[in-house]
Amino acid sequence: MPLRARARTLVDHKRFQYFIIGVIALNGLTLGLETSRWLMERIGEFLHVVDHTTLGIFVLEIALRWFAEGMKFFRNPWNVFDFVLVGFSLVTAAGALSVLRTLRMLRVLRLISTVPSMRKVIEGLLRAVPGIASIAALLGLIIFVAGVMATMFFRDIAPDHFGDLAATSFTLFQIMTGEGWPEIARPIMERAPVAWVFFLIYILVSSFAVLNLFIAVIVKAVEQQTEDNTDELLKEVRGLREDLRAAGLAPRPTSSSAKTPVLDGEVC
- Predicted structure pTM score: 0.64
Predicted local distance difference test score (pLDDT) of residue 153: 92
Same domain? 146 vs 84: no
Same domain? 128 vs 225: yes
Same domain? 109 vs 124: no
Predicted local distance difference test score (pLDDT) of residue 257: 47
- Coil, strand, or helix at residue 231? helix
Same domain? 90 vs 71: yes
Same domain? 130 vs 188: yes
Read off the CATH number of the domain in which 27 is found: 1.20.120.350
Same domain? 201 vs 267: yes
Question: At which of 56, 86, 114 does a domain end?
Answer: 114
Question: At which of 91, 114, 137 does a domain end?
Answer: 114
Q: What is the CB neighbour count within 10 angstroms for residue 250?
A: 14
SS3 sequence of the chain: CCHHHHHHHHHHCHHHHHHHHHHHHHHHHHHHHCCCHHHHHHHHHHHHHHHHHHHHHHHHHHHHHHHHHHHHHHHCHHHHHHHHHHHHHHHHCCHHHHHHHHHHHHHHHHHHHHCHHHHHHHHHHHHCHHHHHHHHHHHHHHHHHHHHHHHHHHCCCCHHHHCCHHHHHHHHHHHHHCCCHHHHHHHHHHHCCCHHHHHHHHHHHHHHHHHHHHHHHHHHHHHHHHHHHHHHHHHHHHHHHHHHHHCCCCCCCCCCHHHCEECCCEEC
Read off the CATH number of the domain in which 226 is found: 1.10.287.70
Question: At which of 114, 137, 172 does a domain end?
Answer: 114
Predicted local distance difference test score (pLDDT) of residue 259: 47
How many whole angstroms from its chain centre is CA 96?
31
Same domain? 106 vs 132: no
Q: Which residues of the chain have pLDDT under 50?
A: 256-260, 262-268
Same domain? 31 vs 145: no
Predicted local distance difference test score (pLDDT) of residue 118: 84
Same domain? 160 vs 72: no
Number of structural domains (the chain) is 2
Same domain? 83 vs 19: yes
**Structural domain boundaries enclosing 255:** 115-268
Same domain? 78 vs 140: no
